[in-house]
Chain A
């Protein structure tokens, strides 16, 4: 059973940098896309970005200028860095595995989020 666990500071000052790490266990970090999704309190889900095990990245254009996602396959971890944070970045941050469909009746590029971390609430406040 794949398990994802977020870790990092839960309080960040405005204009500061938010840094989170996700540790993957119970399965290989290779050959999958690894994502960050966030959810402001009481609101919906927002995809932040993804990284493939090779290091290729995709970012949400709304955050692209402030986001970096990196991966370390030797430690089975990937990380999120969000710069110049404001109160609007206060949210529960989830690390998520994305995989392609491997069964019949669907295409290999039909991706879905199958494993999620428990989430960590990061508050931006002075």
Chain B
């Protein structure tokens, strides 16, 4: 199985801050990497697919980058509604695996 490791596990930031979340794969996965946002009591929501493609309807303040084993999700100007837990997920091989999540809190 491909292990996905996210850092940090949690963070607290102010509105307007630039926030970066990192995801590392245990082996090279090219750009077969997706990002999701989950709010409490809700299903995850797709933000970014194929490492850097923005899902339709997702605000442009979200962006993704990376290839191989190291990936980042960036929120260029954090908004109050961006609280929640963010997960990376690899689609390079089965079984599909997720990172452990990064909880984002608004200061």
Contacts and interface: CB of A to CB of B under 8 A. Distances in A.
Interface stretch (A7-15, A20-28, A70-78, A99-107): A99-107
Given A47-B97, A118-B43, 17 more contacts: A44-B98, A44-B99, A44-B100, A45-B98, A46-B98, A50-B94, A50-B96, A94-B44, A101-B49, A105-B52, A110-B31, A112-B34, A113-B36, A113-B44, A114-B49, A114-B55, A116-B43
Given A103-B53, A106-B49, A106-B50, A112 B94 contact: no
Size category, A interface: 20 to 34
Interface residues of B, number: 26
Nearest to A63: B95
B50 A105 contact: yes
A83 B43 CA distance: 25
A110 B91 contact: yes
A40 interface: no
A113 B89 CA distance: 9
Given A44-B100, A45-B98, A101-B49, A112 B91 contact: yes
Contacts of B87: 44-45
Nearest to B45: A116
A58 interface: yes
Interface of A: 35, 44-47, 50, 58-62, 94, 98, 101, 103, 105-107, 110-114, 116-119
B81 interface: no
Chain B interface main SS type: loop
B49 A112 contact: yes
11 contacts: A44-B87, A44-B98, A45-B87, A58-B95, A60-B95, A111-B91, A112-B46, A112-B50, A113-B34, A116-B43, A117-B43
Contacts of A94: 43-44
A119 B43 CA distance: 7
A44 B5 CA distance: 12
A117 B99 CA distance: 20
Contacts of B45: 116
Contacts of B97: 47
